Structure 1
Amino acid sequence: MDIKDVDLNLLKVFDALRKKQSVTLAGDLMGLSQPAMSFALGKLRTLFDDPLFIRTSHGMQPTARALQIAEPVQRILEMVSSEVLPSTGFVAEHSDRQLVLCMSDIGEMVFLPRLMRMLDKTAPKLRIRTQALSSEQLEEGLDAGEVDAAIGYFPRLLNTSIRHRALYSHSFVCIVRSDHPTIGDTISAEQYQAAVHVAVQAEGRGMGVLDKELASHGVTRRVRFSLPRFMGVPFLVAESDMIATVPLAVGRRFSEITNVRLVPLPWAICGYDIHLYWHTRFHHDPANRWLRQSFIELLGDFSPSEQMSI
């Protein structure tokens, strides 16, 4: 094989097929029709003298040769994109680009109002779309360029091509209805364990940290309502004698919009770090850099002392 025979676009086709394991889906990613993708795959097979992708009941699976070249091809494309091709530039003030963020409902409650106020002043035309994804889905989205950045707690996100930066640490707080008949400004360990709880169960997310911490103190909650998201929690608490344990920043937002108040936990509970995530491929992208810097500045004053003053 001679370097003059290698078409960079064919490497992009290869990378798209590796990600999507489907000629049709890879074509959608590339903006090519299925016949055009099939033709390009034929050229790739001739170029590498290997089938590269074999059709199975689980999609187009890579051959040993495809697995061998997958990482080098990805590195080449990333280098060309970030270091060789000139940037088209990005001016936040005038851009009407849509940026896609991955965050949980916690993130939407805590981060988006701050981001909105900042955008109103600095980037009034910029559009934001959020998605709630699992670690596996987020990894695919960042890798494919379908997600620009993520904010949250994703301990299972282990892809070495994905960069991250810690922003701040979440702690936990108990919320009760404002006129709770038996719980005042504090709650004892006995009251906590005797109370009926609303709990959020989100596998692989920050609330798992709480479960482990409570277990380490020998605490078992009497959970009556178990929810997958936070939005329903304050409304159940505000209209009952039930209590809930939530991240402090979330508890603050709940106390502003519903009839609940914050009460410190009776134990010292470790929190978890909130990180900003992005893909190495877009590390030098002007829009991505602007977005990352904006979040760093927005959350730079989200200090532990501010969080802990209940």
Structure 2
Amino acid sequence: MSTRRLRDIDLNLLVIFKDIMETRNISATARRLNMSQPAASNALARLRATVGDELLVRSGQTMQPTRLGELIAHDVAEGTALLQAALSRRESFDPANDARRFVIAMTDVGEVYFMPRLLAYCAQHAPNVRLEVSYASGTALRNGLQDGGIDLALGPHEDMSDSLLQLHLFKQHCVSLFRATHPFAFHPPTSLAKYREARHLFVSNPASPYVEIQHRMEKAGIRMSANDQVSSFLTVPFIVATSDYVVTVPIKLAEQFAVPLALRSIRPPIRLPELETHSFWHRRSLADPGLAWLRRVIAELFAERTTAYVPVKRRSPDGA
């Protein structure tokens, strides 16, 4: 794109293009940006005419980028994020009155733990703030924080970029969860051999550090079969509530379901790693008063102790 074109272009078109690249759906983008679907379609048509390329084409129920669309998507996202950060330096944020949408990346387990208190807090103190959850992980999560599509990440992530900052929120250990009438409720296992005899349910989650927990259990002789696996932590409390399964999960998840589902728990007779949950954000957002407010709220609601933010530290190959 020439200098003249950049000078003449409506930058709103780039914002809409960035959002369509995220949603791959014009109607979804229209809803997210509070505009009509025809207006979003017209914006894409104007940008196509400007750059001389289709950029995104319909494929079934979604929009798929052309080669040029793929090539410019990252630069557009990064550029709009930089412009937003520059404008934010001169902005203020009043949570009691200002409208703002924040995208927070977390797991399904994290959503159960974090969102009830966050939504209750916003309802009382920031009624016009909208919180949106993203399940992005791995490369998609890192890219989202980098380009501004994700404002904040919460979780036990161990593979974050050096360009991010983090705040420690809490540690948690794992417990083995089972129904109130399970034999373990009356005769807790006194040895690893007794613990192995139970029928164990596993969550096939490839993310670190959950995979390390599974490896430790397998090393201790607790085997799993294809019939004893589920894909989400959120299903396991309901399964163990009506079966003889035992499942090992983070204690905060166990606490959420223990009372409503009449579940019991024990510390497993295996040394398992503790899960350290942090909040993560990009250095660029330090100047954003809205994100500074959100980080402060999360620290006040969930941090076990107050610490200063620090750069993300890479782990050495031996895990240190």
| Aligned position for 1:165 | 167
Shift, 1:206, TM fit: 3.8
Query: How far apart, in 2, do the equivalents of 1:85 and 1:127 lie?
Result: 18
Normalised to the residue count of structure 2, the TM-score between the two structures is 0.69
101, 104, 108: which one aligns with 1:105: 108
**SS class of match (1:204):** coil
- For the 8 Å contact 1:193–1:221, the answer to whether it is kept is no
> How many residues align structurally?
294
Task: Provide closer, same or farther for how the CA distance between residues 10 and 60 of structure 1 changes in structure 2, counting only shifts above 3 A.
Answer: farther
Q: Given the alignment of the two structures, is residue 178 of structure 1 paired with residue 184 of structure 2, yes or no?
A: no
**SS class of match (2:211):** helix
**For residue 94 of structure 1, what is the amino acid of its counterpart?**
N
243, 247, 253: which one aligns with 1:250: 253
Query: How far apart, in 2, do the equivalents of 1:94 and 1:70 lie?
Result: 33
Task: Provide closer, same or farther for how the CA distance between residues 95 and 236 of structure 1 changes in structure 2, counting only shifts above 3 A.
Answer: same
Q: Given the alignment of the two structures, is residue 137 of structure 1 paired with residue 140 of structure 2, yes or no?
A: yes
- For the 8 Å contact 1:199–1:223, the answer to whether it is kept is no
- For the 8 Å contact 2:163–2:283, the answer to whether it is kept is yes
Task: Provide closer, same or farther for how the CA distance between residues 261 and 294 of structure 1 changes in structure 2, counting only shifts above 3 A.
Answer: same
**For residue 180 of structure 1, what is the amino acid of its counterpart?**
H
Shift, 1:106, TM fit: 0.9
Task: Provide closer, same or farther for how the CA distance between residues 83 and 127 of structure 1 changes in structure 2, counting only shifts above 3 A.
Answer: closer
Shift, 1:152, TM fit: 1.5
Q: Given the alignment of the two structures, is residue 261 of structure 1 paired with residue 264 of structure 2, yes or no?
A: yes
| Aligned position for 1:234 | 237
| Aligned position for 2:157 | 154
- For the 8 Å contact 1:156–1:204, the answer to whether it is kept is no
| Aligned position for 1:286 | 289
Query: How far apart, in 1, do the equivalents of 2:195 and 2:227 lie?
Result: 14
Shift, 1:276, TM fit: 1.4
Query: How far apart, in 2, do the equivalents of 1:246 and 1:33 lie?
Result: 44
Task: Provide closer, same or farther for how the CA distance between residues 132 and 4 of structure 1 changes in structure 2, counting only shifts above 3 A.
Answer: closer
The Cα offsets for residues 238-276 of structure 1, whole Å up to 9 and x where unpaired, read as 222211100011111121221211101102211232221
The Cα offsets for residues 180-226 of structure 1, whole Å up to 9 and x where unpaired, read as 22553455311222111222112224421211222444543467431
Shift, 1:79, TM fit: 5.2
Query: How far apart, in 2, do the equivalents of 1:108 and 1:302 lie?
Result: 21
Query: How far apart, in 2, do the equivalents of 1:179 and 1:289 lie?
Result: 47
Shift, 1:167, TM fit: 2.1
Shift, 1:133, TM fit: 2.5
Query: How far apart, in 1, do the equivalents of 2:105 and 2:295 lie?
Result: 13
Between 1:290-299 and 1:119-128, the stretch displaced more is 119-128
Query: How far apart, in 2, do the equivalents of 1:110 and 1:92 lie?
Result: 22
The Cα offsets for residues 66-106 of structure 1, whole Å up to 9 and x where unpaired, read as 98x99999877655543466533221122343322222221
**SS class of match (1:231):** helix
| Aligned position for 2:317 | none
Task: Provide closer, same or farther for how the CA distance between residues 211 and 73 of structure 1 changes in structure 2, counting only shifts above 3 A.
Answer: same
**SS class of match (1:101):** strand
| Aligned position for 2:61 | none
Query: How far apart, in 1, do the equivalents of 2:211 and 2:9 lie?
Result: 44
The Cα offsets for residues 31-64 of structure 1, whole Å up to 9 and x where unpaired, read as 997787687688789xxxxx9x9x9xx95446xx
Between 1:122-131 and 1:249-258, the stretch displaced more is 122-131
| Aligned position for 1:306 | none
| Aligned position for 2:309 | none
| Aligned position for 1:270 | 273
Normalised to the residue count of structure 1, the TM-score between the two structures is 0.71
| Aligned position for 2:94 | 91
- For the 8 Å contact 2:77–2:148, the answer to whether it is kept is no
Task: Provide closer, same or farther for how the CA distance between residues 77 and 161 of structure 1 changes in structure 2, counting only shifts above 3 A.
Answer: farther
| Aligned position for 1:308 | none
**SS class of match (1:175):** strand
Query: How far apart, in 2, do the equivalents of 1:20 and 1:126 lie?
Result: 22
